[in-house]
């Protein structure tokens, strides 16, 4: 019996050692529930973040040497402090938070990865403010976050600086993520940044916050929101995690070749629509892009310093006369056509009426 117990103890301790050797990863989908994150161009940050995170997990769960914990797997609100606590209790080796960026301007684009650190840049502080702002939606935030006010830059001074080693590991991983975005996905690289973010500050392991791109940028939001775009992001983030693990833990977990697919982004045609309101019975919508393709050419018949009334008797019996006012007089035209060929007939008609120098001009 005693011998049996010894064997059981040995087996159990072996199993727990094997378990400990697993790479413990926390995947954190930003926002959730009552906190949607950024909402621009029909995209919702919390949905994109969750989709990408679940796909990263799906790829890495196939590896037996991974032990993965998700801060959320559904559309629920998780306070930042709970996310940090989950990661700390789990004794994670790496904490990866996925978000989308947003700006008040439609122009900024590109992917960036943030690691915990002291920031000197205003732009980054703005992001930190947005990503940390959720704290105010939580009850008892003053108590739970011990005076961490995302709106106050002096808060940075009070933040504890992570041990150098942890910070260096975060930086190594962040660089690999950006390397993948830039070289494998050909995304615009906004680089790696050090940032005071509460969720990263409160976790004790290396951690990063990935901003996939700007939802406020119409073009970039289409990529991020596409099925293919999210698939691509998940592939390269998973690959970056594998590479980081192999490098830092000197393991040789086999890598995979990422399958990158080009998103099918349909550019909706944007005709300039003009509503003609003259006739109250017809709310007629005219596609001006089509109107503009017509009557591209017209026939100039004469030039005069006198302004003539546009009646046939003033133009040797020709009707359909138009005029443009020039610097020193008036140019008169007969008819119009969508092609030069169509105007040739009009030139012949004008010449027959005595306008011998009639010629075709472009109608601008």
Interaction site with Zn ion (CB under 5 A) = 30, 37, 99, 131
Q: How far is CA 61 from the centre of its chain?
A: 27
The least CB distance from residue 99 to Zn ion, in Å, is 3
User: Which distant-in-sequence residues (6+ apart) come within 8 Å of 146 by Cβ?
Assistant: none
39 forms bridges with which residues in the sheet?
44
The least CB distance from residue 151 to Zn ion, in Å, is 16
* Closest residue to Zn ion: CB criterion: 99
Which residue, 72 or 243, has its beta carbon nearer to Zn ion? Answer: 72
The least CB distance from residue 60 to Zn ion, in Å, is 22
Which tokens sit at 84?
Answer: 């940090």
Give the SS3 label for residue 43. Answer: strand
What is the DSSP secondary structure assignment for residue 312, as one 8-state letter? G
Which residue, 93 or 101, has its beta carbon nearer to Zn ion? Answer: 101
Which residue, 145 or 297, has its beta carbon nearer to Zn ion? Answer: 145
| Separation of alpha carbons 332 and 153, rounded Å | 68
Backbone phi, psi, residue 319, to 5° = -105, -175
Q: How would you list the strands of the sheet with 330-337, edge to edge?
A: 321-325, 330-337, 297-304, 359-362
Which residue, 93 or 178, has its beta carbon nearer to Zn ion? Answer: 178
The least CB distance from residue 97 to Zn ion, in Å, is 8
Which residue, 24 or 99, has its beta carbon nearer to Zn ion? Answer: 99
Query: Would you say 303 and 293 are in contact if contact means Cβ atoms under 8 Å apart?
Result: no
The least CB distance from residue 52 to Zn ion, in Å, is 12
The least CB distance from residue 102 to Zn ion, in Å, is 8
Which residue, 37 or 213, has its beta carbon nearer to Zn ion? Answer: 37
Q: Given 3-state DSSP classes, what are the helix, strand and coil percentages for the chain, each rounded to the nearest 5?
A: 40, 20, 40
Which residue, 234 or 299, has its beta carbon nearer to Zn ion? Answer: 234
The least CB distance from residue 37 to Zn ion, in Å, is 4
The least CB distance from residue 31 to Zn ion, in Å, is 6
- Helical pair 164-179 and 227-249, crossing angle rounded to 10 deg: 140
User: Which distant-in-sequence residues (6+ apart) come within 8 Å of 205 by Cβ?
Assistant: 87, 88, 91, 92, 93, 94, 95, 166
Query: Would you say 116 and 206 are in contact if contact means Cβ atoms under 8 Å apart?
Result: no
Count the residues in the chain: 364
Which residue, 87 or 343, has its beta carbon nearer to Zn ion? Answer: 87
| Separation of alpha carbons 192 and 177, rounded Å | 9
| Separation of alpha carbons 333 and 316, rounded Å | 13
| Separation of alpha carbons 309 and 325, rounded Å | 13
What is the DSSP secondary structure assignment for residue 21, as one 8-state letter? T
The dihedral sign for the CA sequence 357, 359, 363, 364: negative
The least CB distance from residue 121 to Zn ion, in Å, is 18
Which residue, 136 or 303, has its beta carbon nearer to Zn ion? Answer: 136
């Amino acid at each position: 019996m005693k011998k049996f117990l010894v064997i059981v103890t040995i087996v159990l301790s072996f199993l727990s050692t094997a378990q400990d050797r697993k790479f413990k990863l926390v995947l954190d989908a930003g926002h959730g529930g009552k906190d949607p994150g950024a909402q621009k161009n029909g995209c919702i940050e919390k949905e994109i973040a969750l989709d990408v995170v679940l796909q990263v997990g799906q790829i890495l769960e196939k590896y037996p040497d991974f032990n993965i914990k998700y801060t959320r797997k559904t559309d629920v609100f998780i306070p930042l402090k709970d996310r940090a606590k989950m990661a700390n209790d789990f004794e994670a080796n790496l904490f990866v938070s996925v978000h989308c960026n947003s700006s008040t301007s439609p122009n900024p684009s590109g992917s960036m990865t943030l690691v915990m650190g002291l920031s000197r840049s205003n732009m980054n502080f703005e992001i930190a403010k947005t990503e940390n702002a959720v704290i105010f939606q939580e009850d008892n935030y003053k108590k739970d976050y011990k005076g961490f006010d995302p709106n106050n830059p002096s808060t940075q001074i009070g933040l504890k600086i992570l041990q150098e080693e942890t910070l260096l590991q975060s930086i190594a991983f962040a660089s690999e993520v950006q390397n993948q975005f830039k070289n494998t996905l050909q995304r615009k690289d906004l680089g790696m940044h050090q940032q005071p973010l509460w969720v990263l500050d409160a976790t004790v392991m290396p951690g990063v916050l990935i901003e996939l791109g700007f939802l406020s940028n119409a073009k970039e939001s289409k990529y991020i929101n596409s099925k293919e775009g999210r698939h691509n992001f998940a592939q390269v983030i998973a690959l970056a995690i594998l590479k980081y693990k192999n490098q830092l833990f000197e393991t040789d977990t086999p890598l995979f070749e990422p399958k990158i697919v080009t998103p099918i982004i349909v550019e909706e045609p944007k005709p300039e629509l003009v509503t003609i309101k003259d006739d109250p019975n017809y709310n007629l919508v005219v596609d001006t892009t089509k109107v503009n393709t017509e009557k591209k050419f017209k026939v100039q018949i004469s030039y005069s310093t006198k302004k003539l009334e546009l009646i046939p008797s003033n133009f040797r019996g020709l009707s359909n006369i138009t005029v443009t006012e020039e610097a020193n007089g008036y140019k008169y035209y007969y008819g119009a056509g969508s092609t030069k060929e169509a105007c040739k007939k009009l030139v012949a008609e004008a010449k027959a009426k005595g306008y011998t120098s009639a010629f075709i001009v472009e109608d601008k």
